[in-house]
Structure 1
Amino acid sequence: MNLITTNKFKGYFKVWAAPISLLIFLFLFGALGYRITEGWDWGDCLWMVLITITTIGFGEVEVLSSAGRIITFLIIGGGLFVVQLTLQRFIQLSELGYFLKLEELRLRRLIRKMKNHVIICGYGRTGKEIAEQLKSEKISTLIIEIDSSRKTEAEEKGYNVLLADATMDETLLLAGIKKCRSLVVTLPSDAANLYVVLSAKALNETCRLIARAANEEAANKLKLAGADAVVSPYVAAGRTMAASALRPIAVDFIDLLAGSDCEIEEFKVTQNRDKIENFNSNTENVFNFSKRNEALLLATKVSGQLMGNPKDKLSVSPGMILIFLGSQEQLNRIRVYLKEILVKNT
């Protein structure tokens, strides 16, 4: 892939070979001409060629001889030819979409370097809000959008945008589905969202998938397809408004959390029983979250059952999800502490 991209870059730059070569030749010819006819040093020769080609007109370095004026005349004629050739090439390439292709190639090179990023499929109203929130959290984000006007709008706000169809496997692979931390699907059609979830799950089983659904039936299908979380904007808005009426402090806490250094993160335990037994048998690895400077264990989830405020000491089990609250530094210590039993990419 890298070799193919390198060859493409070489191909895109070959179109400028003729103007650049002619310009270099003109500089060398002019400098050599002044060197022979006027006897100037190379610095003065090159300076005279530069101000002649660019028509800056600072004046002659020294009074020119008749032969020197002939050289100047040839340089001016050659400069006009090179400038005309360059302008013609620029216009032709613009009409052929050369600069758009060059920008697309630059974006693809950037995407290949991205890892642990979030992919957002669709830059509609929901996608915009998600992108803004991730941007405020300084999370690396890539947007996939098929509408060119929305792509332009997103790029104006500083986002990396891939103009492509998110339902295609090729697009997801190009977006780095195998190296991302999660994928958020906010396409306007439930069928399209379902298609993307199925494709993403097949390409990367460990990727966390979050999908938008218009109704409960679509939400159930998305969960069956492998979505880790399904959000219905209408249901979510209703629950938030109800929570604000009944438990305003809890809602305010979540809002405050979004703008603080603290984060809530979940860690999924492997299904490998040998690793888990080895971890539990080591007395040093028995959980004790009453220690200072550690992230707070908020809850555990086993077989879909959520248990809040777990006791300080507990043993892990296959597939258990541990939910922590803490700073990024504290969460990193937990990640290192549990690295032997965690599922990769958590």
Structure 2
Amino acid sequence: MNLIKTSKFRGYLKVWTAPISLLIFLFLFGALGYRFTEGWDWGDCLWMVLITITTIGFGEVEVLSSAGRVITFLIIGGGLFVVQLTLQRFIQLSELGYFIKLEELRLRRLIRRMKNHVIICGYGRTGKEIADQLKSEKISTLIIENDTTSKIEAEEKGFNVLLADATMDETLLLAGVKNCRSLVVTLPNDAANLYVVLSAKALNESCRLIARAANEEAASKLKLAGADAVVSPYVAAGRTMAASALRPIAVDFIDLLAGSDCEIEEFKLTEDIDKIDIFTSHHENSLDFSKRDQALLLATKVSGQLFGNPKNIVSISPGMILIFLGSKEQLNRIRVRLREVLVKPLS
């Protein structure tokens, strides 16, 4: 991806040398002309030049002499020439891609300031859905797309889009892969997805990688390459349809949760504390979330192992992850109370 360099900017700025120089010359010529032909003070001279060039339409400062009219005529002609020259320069810069490169520079500066964001590689059908979900959660998102039409479509929705090849290390570095929280790969080609996962893992080992796979074979290779999670749309769709046929009520309930105001939130213990029971009232530091907040504890994760359907009383330890289901209000209350026991939400 060719970005603007300082030398190129200087070259682009040179095209404005002639119009600006001519405009300055017109002001000096007009002011001096009115000064010597009409005898006005410098303020009136400059004002007359300004209203003549801009064609504002105000009347003359004073009645002009024949020589003053000649000066005015020359200023009008010079002003029209400056306008024509300026339009030519705009067309020239547009053909050279100046305004596109200017937008690229703005985007590069924006990316430099982005931290803890999510990178989406590919803005296809899957990428669009992911981007919309992240936008609804107000998560900082950057899309990498090499198709101009898709780029324009994403920008119309308010997304920051990098027009480039996601398989290139240079592109991933430019997208801020070293500062992102996760990278989602949804390219239509499994080989390209594998290449992106390998590159991203080499550039940032701590980055969480989620990849799309067309089949189970590709999914296994992506996991070997370092993907933390692999999703196959066809496999997922098949399982959902099979579940709908076998367990329709359960699937309807899951769909109801997905369409409601309920959310799933993760909380991680970040400070070293002694193990305490936070779900029982028998301990002075205990908290009973199930009764007071009515949020559902779905699972816990300890030492990399996930446990579902935990008991009402859970002994927590440093590094433990608690997964809750509830409304935003319920989760916010839990977030505040977890901070009291040195636990904070996952970033």
State the TM-score bracket (shorter-chain normalisation).
Answer: 0.7 to 0.9
The alpha carbon displacement at 1:306 in A equals 3.0
Name the SS of the counterpart of 1:247 in structure 2.
helix
Which residue in the other structure is 1:211 paired with? 211
Q: Residue 295 of structure 1 contacts residue 330 of structure 1 at CA under 8 Å; is this kept in 2?
A: no
Name the SS of the counterpart of 1:120 in structure 2.
strand
Q: Which moved more, 1:43-52 or 1:328-337?
A: 328-337
| Aligned positions, number | 332
Which residue in the other structure is 1:251 paired with? 254
Distance of 1:92 and 1:15 partners within structure 2? 9
The alpha carbon displacement at 1:229 in A equals 1.8
Distance 1:306 1:253, change over 3 A: farther
**Cα RMSD, aligned residues only:** 3.4
Question: 2:175 matched to 1:172?
Answer: no
Q: Residue 269 of structure 2 contacts residue 343 of structure 2 at CA under 8 Å; is this kept in 1?
A: no
Q: Residue 142 of structure 1 contacts residue 175 of structure 1 at CA under 8 Å; is this kept in 2?
A: yes
The alpha carbon displacement at 1:173 in A equals 1.5
Distance of 2:7 and 2:336 partners within structure 1? 43
Distance of 1:335 and 1:25 partners within structure 2? 70
The alpha carbon displacement at 1:85 in A equals 2.7
Q: Residue 299 of structure 1 contacts residue 310 of structure 1 at CA under 8 Å; is this kept in 2?
A: no
> Where does the alignment leave 5 or more consecutive residues of structure 1 unmatched?
none
Which residue in the other structure is 2:321 paired with? 321
> What TM-score does the superposition give when structure 1 sets the normalisation length?
0.80
Q: Which moved more, 1:290-299 or 1:21-30?
A: 290-299
Distance of 1:246 and 1:150 partners within structure 2? 38
Larger radius of gyration: 2
Q: Which moved more, 1:84-93 or 1:21-30?
A: 21-30
Name the SS of the counterpart of 2:263 in structure 1.
strand
The alpha carbon displacement at 1:120 in A equals 0.9
Name the SS of the counterpart of 2:275 in structure 1.
helix
Name the SS of the counterpart of 2:173 in structure 1.
helix
- Counterpart of 1:229, as a letter, is A
- Counterpart of 1:217, as a letter, is E
Which residue in the other structure is 2:68 paired with? 68
The alpha carbon displacement at 1:6 in A equals 6.8
Q: Residue 37 of structure 1 contacts residue 68 of structure 1 at CA under 8 Å; is this kept in 2?
A: yes
> What TM-score does the superposition give when structure 2 sets the normalisation length?
0.80
Q: Percent identity?
A: 75
> Where does the alignment leave 5 or more consecutive residues of structure 2 unmatched?
278-282
Q: Which moved more, 1:218-227 or 1:329-338?
A: 329-338
Distance 1:317 1:243, change over 3 A: farther
The alpha carbon displacement at 1:193 in A equals 0.9
Q: Residue 118 of structure 1 contacts residue 181 of structure 1 at CA under 8 Å; is this kept in 2?
A: yes
Distance 1:197 1:285, change over 3 A: farther
The alpha carbon displacement at 1:21 in A equals 3.9
Q: Residue 288 of structure 1 contacts residue 313 of structure 1 at CA under 8 Å; is this kept in 2?
A: no
